[in-house]
Amino acid sequence: MGRNRFVQPETVRLDIGDGDWIEVKKRLTSGEARRAYTGIIKNATQDGKFAFDMNVLGRQELLAYLVEWSLIGLDGKRVPIDTEARKEAAVDALDQDDFKTINEAVTAHVTAMETERADAKKLRDGVTTSSAISPSPEIAAGVMSGSATSTGT
């Protein structure tokens, strides 16, 4: 029997500071990823070059991953993001620094998931990594060659 090739719908809660959190998809499906990445393209030329829509660059991936959050609006209630339209409007209404914080959390999550999948693929494909090379006896003893000096700062 082959391995499962479909994305299991899972979410991960990420702390964004000040007691707030966002809940994101652990992984995107191929369709979700395609829509997120093609959403940043403004137009393509016949020679294969793309013009990116700077208005949505950095926003599309965040919108694709974001499921829920704890953010409170000006009315003191949690801001709903239960539809794509509400999610887009809420993300667009964020303070720039808070958008950056959330975007960085999503980017770090994506990087961690890519690393996890790459490591799993190596194991699945039987790829082994070589062990670390032991340092030379001189380095292990603290002896360094060259002219580098320490200033103590």
CA distances from 51 to 26, 46, 48, 54, 62 (A): 29, 12, 10, 9, 20
Whole-number pLDDT of residue 95: 96
- How far apart CA 69 and CA 58 sit, in angstroms, is 18
Whole-number pLDDT of residue 139: 44
Q: How confident is the model at residue 78 (pLDDT cuts 50, 70, 90)?
A: very high
Give the pLDDT confidence of 25-53 residue by residue, as tens digits.
999 999 998 888 777 777 777 887 777 76
**Is the pLDDT at 23 greater than 60, yes or no?**
yes
- pTM for the structure as a whole: 0.71
Whole-number pLDDT of residue 148: 41
